[in-house]
Amino acid sequence: MASKFEEYLKRLNNSLIEMGQLVEQAIANANKALIERDIELAEKVIASDEEINAKEREIEALCLKLMLRWHPVAGDLRLVSAAMKMITDLERVGDQAADISELTILLAGMPYVKNLEHISQMAEVTTKMIIGSIDAFVKKDLELANMVIDSDDTVDGLFNTVKGDLLELINENVKNGDQAIDLIMIAKYFERIGDHATNVAEWVIFSITGIHKNSPII
C-alpha cells in the first residue's frame, strides 16, 4: 500500500498536469482568438487566468504541506522545491496569454498589416514546450527536458523574423506603426512563454539531477 507521502506526491503530479493543461489551452485559445479576431474567445482567455492562478495557489499549498508534514530530503526535496518554482513560471504563462488576448481585442475589427503565420508557429512551438516540460517532470525524462530547452532557439528565431518583418513595414509606411508595434508585443509575449517553458524544463533537470545553472548542487 502506498504511503500517505506517496499519495500526496501523486496528487502533486496530477495537479501539475492539470495546471499544464490549463496553460496549454490558454495559449491555444489566445492564438486562435488572434487569428480569427474572436473577441469572445479572447475574453475567455483573460477570464481563465484566474483559474490558472487558483491552481497555482492549490499546488503551492500542497507543496508546503508536503514539506512541513514529512520534511522530505534529497530527491524528494528537490522534486517538491522544483514544483514550487515551476508553478511560478506556469502562472506567468497564463498572464502572458491574457496579455495577448487583451491586444487581440484592441486589434479586432481591423485588417492585419502582416500575415500571422510566424506568430502562429510561435504559439505551436511554445505549446509543445509547455506540454513537454510537464511530461518531463512527471516521467523524470532528462532527454525530453533538454529537447524543450533546445526548442527555445526556434521560438527566438521566429520572434526575430516577426520583429524584422514588422519593422520593415513601419519603415515602408508609418501608418502601419501602431498595429505593427502591437503585433511585435504579441510576438514578444510568445517569446517570453518560450522562456518560461525553458525555465520549467531547467527545474525538471534540477529535480532529477540536483543541478541547476543558477543553483548549488543539492
Q: How far apart are CA 112 and CA 37, in angstroms?
A: 10
For the whole model, what pTM was predicted? 0.93
Residues of the chain with pLDDT > 70, as a percent, come to: 97
For residues 182-203, average pLDDT: 97
Predicted confidence at residue 2, as pLDDT, reads 58
Q: Please say whether the dihedral angle defined by the alpha carbons of residues 130, 134, 137 and 142, taken in this order, is positive or negative.
A: negative
CA-wise closest residue to 105 among 40, 23, 181: 40
119, pLDDT greater than 60: yes
191, pLDDT greater than 60: yes
For residues 187-203, average pLDDT: 97
91, pLDDT greater than 50: yes
Q: Does domain 4-209 have CATH number 1.20.58.220?
A: yes
176, pLDDT greater than 90: no
Of the ranges 31-35, 205-209, 213-217, which one carries the lowest mean pLDDT score? Answer: 213-217
- Residue boundaries of the structural domains of the chain: 4-209
What is the identity of the amino acid at 206? F
pLDDT tens digits for range 148-160: 999 999 999 999 9
32, pLDDT greater than 70: yes
Q: Could you tell me the pLDDT band of residue 215, with boundaries at 50, 70 and 90?
A: low
Predicted confidence at residue 22, as pLDDT, reads 97
Predicted confidence at residue 101, as pLDDT, reads 98
Of residues 117 and 176, more confidence is placed in 117
55, pLDDT greater than 50: yes
State the average pLDDT for the chain: 93
122, pLDDT greater than 50: yes
Q: Could you tell me the pLDDT band of residue 71, with boundaries at 50, 70 and 90?
A: confident
List the alpha helices (DSSP H) in the chain.
Answer: 4-36, 39-70, 74-107, 117-139, 142-172, 177-209
3-class SS of residue 30: helix
Q: Could you tell me the pLDDT band of residue 212, with boundaries at 50, 70 and 90?
A: confident
CB-CB contact of 126 with 155 (8 Å): yes
Predicted confidence at residue 74, as pLDDT, reads 87
